Amino acid sequence: MSFLAQREFKGMYETAANEEKKILAIIAESKFNVLAYKEIKESKNIKSEPSKVLKNMVEKNLIIKEARGRYKLRDKMFREYLRTLKPYKENGTF
């Protein structure tokens, strides 16, 4: 992954709120590219209702709402960045 890509993705990740970081980690670590709302809500790391957080994440272009109740990361390289560097493990978010 190029230095520019890492810098872009690091900036995206660092501007995310704590709950958003948790959801990014859940989606990145999933074996599926698209996750259902129910899977996100039932994750052990999510303590509150994620609807507003997901809406904010779509507005920030961190994730894409593929269909009603189905979400994915905005691109494959962002997913690869999260899975490879695991910034959520370093800062204890996930």
**Domain topology for 3-89:** Arc Repressor Mutant, subunit A (1.10.10)
Give residue-wise pLDDT tens across range 60-83. Answer: 999 999 999 999 999 999 999 999
Mean per-residue pLDDT over the chain, rounded: 92
| pLDDT band for position 91 (cuts 50, 70, 90) | low
What does each C-alpha distance from 41 to 13, 35, 46, 53, 85 come to in angstroms? 20, 10, 6, 11, 24
pLDDT of the residue at 87: 86
Q: pTM, whole model, 2 decimals?
A: 0.91
